[in-house]
Structure 1
Amino acid sequence: MSTSKEYMQFVLDQLKEFPDVTYRKMFGEYMVYLQGRPVLLVCDNCAMVKKLPELAELMRGAPDGLPYEGARVHSVLDLEDRELVRQVMDILLRVTPLPKRRIQQSK
């Protein structure tokens, strides 16, 4: 099952207080970026964050989620908990590097 457009709009609505939120559709699912940094996987109408040491305390009671077969286990983020989302996004902005740009090689 893939993520619905309605759920993706809900995710974006929950993140509207943050500047520069973008997303990319990948294989029927989505990666959400905050200021160019990949912060959320949205799969099967569920928002997930990487299990990072910096998030361990905040996400201690969160259920586990598997974004896709073969992926590492992530933590499910309760997007309706505004304070939790704010804290998680603040941490992710600090610890998540910008993706490296791919350089195309000429033949």
Structure 2
Amino acid sequence: MASDRKTVAFIVDQLAAAGEVSAKPMFGEYGVYCDGRMVALICDDQLFVKPTPGGRAFAGAIDEAPPYPGAKPCLLVDADRWDDAEWLAELVRISTAELPMPKPKKPKPNKV
């Protein structure tokens, strides 16, 4: 089941204080990016934040689950926490700071 665009828009709005936040469609669901790093996934209207030591410490007792079959477990942020924009943005800010920048893409060769 694909995530509702309203859910995605709400979560992105709640994360505004974390930095430059956007969501991009990926395989029927959404990847959430903060300052150029993919920090979370929204799958089946659930928010999964990539686990980092700082994010785990900040979140405290939080469930972990894979966002899709075969994926590594992520922090599963309960929908009740989504209304706390300050907490949510801080979790994403901490997690983003610990994630590596994506590798630069190689330019595609020009076809002549």
TM value normalised by structure 1: 0.84
Q: Which amino acid aligns with 2:24?
A: R
Q: Which has the higher helix share?
A: 2
1:58 touches 1:84 (CA, 8 Å); kept in 2?
A: no
SS in 1 for 2:22: strand
- The 2-side partners of 1:90 and 1:64 are apart by 19
Please tell me the root mean square deviation across aligned C-alpha atoms, in Å: 2.0
Deviates more, 1:89-98 or 1:68-77: 89-98
- The 2-side partners of 1:75 and 1:25 are apart by 20
Residue 89 of structure 1 corresponds to which residue in structure 2?
92
* Aligned length in residues: 107
- 1:16-72 CA distances to partner (integer Å, 9 max, x unpaired)? 334421221001111111111111111110111122222222223212232111001
Moved over 4 A (4+): none
- Residue 73 of structure 1 and its aligned partner are, at CA, apart by 0.9
Check if 1:39 corresponds to 2:45: no
- The 2-side partners of 1:53 and 1:70 are apart by 22
SS in 2 for 1:56: helix
- Where in structure 1 are there 5+ consecutive unaligned residues? none
Q: Which amino acid aligns with 2:94?
A: I
Percent of pairs identical after alignment?
31
Q: Which amino acid aligns with 1:100?
A: K
1:64 touches 1:73 (CA, 8 Å); kept in 2?
A: yes
2:8 touches 2:23 (CA, 8 Å); kept in 1?
A: no
- The 2-side partners of 1:17 and 1:54 are apart by 18
